[in-house]
Amino acid sequence: MIQTDKKALNKCVFLDRDGVLNEEIGDYMHRLEDLVIPEGMAEGIKMLKEAGYLLIVVTNQAGIAKGMYGKEAVHAIHQRMQEECGSLLDAIYFAPHHESHTSRSLSRKPESLMMERAMAKYNIDPAQSWMIGDRARDMQAGQKAGVRTIHILTEGDTPAGDYTALNLLEAARLILEQERDQAR
């Protein structure tokens, strides 16, 4: 019989990429020269890491399926992001699919397979974990995976998460505040 030790479970913050870790440019961010890291991103990542969270990126990359760029471009962007935040990201998952170009995929958000794979691999407790994203599909994936969600809102957005924030730094502060409140 397999026993699960509650103490051995990890807490995690799942992070969407475009619009959270880098500024959303509106059209398939894949060139290093277009990468803009928002103010406070590295600080938010550091705060979450110091609080003991695993940090795992889950991002749709349909531009691969559409033939706009290759996986090498995605890896180059992710490498630069690691450099920008002191290599604190624990894992990066991406879904290179698009239903109108390749096939439907359970990895592609709003589905939650990327998160579920990470949960199994890293022994993540969904009850202690979060999803931060800037789209309703990010919130849907988080909800399907059983984690709390924070929707990074831009002008005109309708809130779709459990909480809202203006950026990653504000979201990190909210998570740490919630953690303190639960400890009381």
Active site residue 125: no
Tokens 């984690």 belong to which residue? Answer: 147
Q: Virtual CA dihedral for 91, 88, 119, 25, nearest 10 degrees?
A: -60
**Residue 16 designated active-site:** yes
* DSSP character at residue 106: S
Q: Write a three-state SS string for 13-74.
A: EEECCECCCECCCCCCCCCHHHCCCCCCHHHHHHHHHHCCCEEEEEEECHHHHCCCCCHHHH
Rounded distance between C-alpha atoms, residue 184 and residue 181, angstroms: 5
CA–CA distance, 161 with 169 (Å, rounded to integer):
17
Q: Which residues contact 139 (CB under 8 A, 6 or more apart)?
A: 131, 133, 149, 151, 160, 161
Paired tokens of 68: 């706009």
Exactly one of 16, 125, 157, 181 is catalytic; name it.
Answer: 16
User: Catalytic: which of 18, 125, 134, 138?
Assistant: 18
Residues tagged active-site: 16, 18
